[in-house]
Amino acid sequence: MFRWYVINTYSGHEKKVKANLEHRLMSMGHAEAVREVVIPTEQVVETKDGQKVQSEKRTLPGYVLVNMNMTPDVLWVVKDTPGVTGFVGGSSRENEPVPLTQMEVDRLLRKDVDTGRRVVKAEFTEGETVKVISGPLSDFSGEIAEINVEQARLKVLVSIFGRETPAELSFDQVKKVS
């Protein structure tokens, strides 16, 4: 029966472990025992120099998920793969890993709610001076008073006619002043 298991790897070596595991399973004739090898990731939007840059970030560094039919031979192939330090979880039986529940798998692979969710990473800090690069306040400079990462928005205090005026701007409407 196919179940999901979590493999512990060296952090930063997840892609190598995935490739090594898939290659070993093919070359040793156990490819049919594994349906899928997954490195859990999410899309992250970073703002750098006023430009939105989308990248992929590992949600569980050091771990790889495997959907497989656990047999002693397949267990040995997986454990003996370079970069694999072992399985997560223990069992009453000697050396047999515990499979994940369907709810845990859905949460780890983000299948439950919002599959299109993206995380926005702020490259700004409060008190930092930024220049507005788009919108009606273009070319004005101001100091960041508030950062709302969830909405990817900043409250910037812009000096207009000698008075500081708060302006609500998105991350991509401003850039850092060097």
Q: Which of 90, 146, 99 is nearest to 122 (CA)?
A: 146
Contact at 8 Å (CB) between 110 and 34?
A: no
Q: Spell out the domains of the chain, with CATH numbers in brackets.
A: 2-120 (3.30.70.940), 123-176 (2.30.30.30)
Q: Which of 1, 30, 17, 6 is nearest to 98 (CA)?
A: 6
Q: Which of 90, 82, 105 is nearest to 36 (CA)?
A: 105
Give the length of the chain: 178
What pLDDT, on the 0 to 100 scale, is given for residue 167? 92
pTM: 0.61
What pLDDT, on the 0 to 100 scale, is given for residue 102? 86
For the chain, 178 residues long, the average pLDDT of each consecutive 10-residue run is 92 92 93 91 75 81 92 90 86 71 82 50 84 88 89 89 89 84
What pLDDT, on the 0 to 100 scale, is given for residue 59? 83
Tokens linked to 41: 């990731």
